Amino acid sequence: MLPPRMSEGEAAAEDQAAQVAGLVAAGELSEEAAEAILEGETSVEAAKEEAKAEAAQDSEGEEA
C-alpha cells in the first residue's frame, strides 16, 4: 500500500483554503480576512462575523 499523498493536516489546510477562496469569490470575505484566516490569525466564523459587523456599520454610515 502506498502512503497517503498528503498528511491529514495538509488535507485540512487545503480544504480550508478552498473554503476561504469560495467565500472571497462570493464576496462574503475580503482578501485581507482570507489572508488572516490562512495565516491562523482568526477563524472563518470570526472573520465572517467581523465582515457582517463592518457591512452593518457601512450601511449605517451611508444612511446618516
| Residue 62 in this model has a pLDDT that exceeds 70 | no
Residue 32: which pLDDT band, with cuts at 50, 70 and 90?
A: very high
Q: Which residue has the cell 482578501?
A: 31
| pLDDT per position as a tens digit, 33-61 | 999 999 999 999 999 999 888 888 888 77
CA dihedral 58, 34, 50, 53 (to 10 degrees): 20
More confident residue, 4 or 23: 23
The answer to whether the beta carbons of residues 37 and 44 sit under 8 Å apart is yes
pLDDT of residue 33: 93
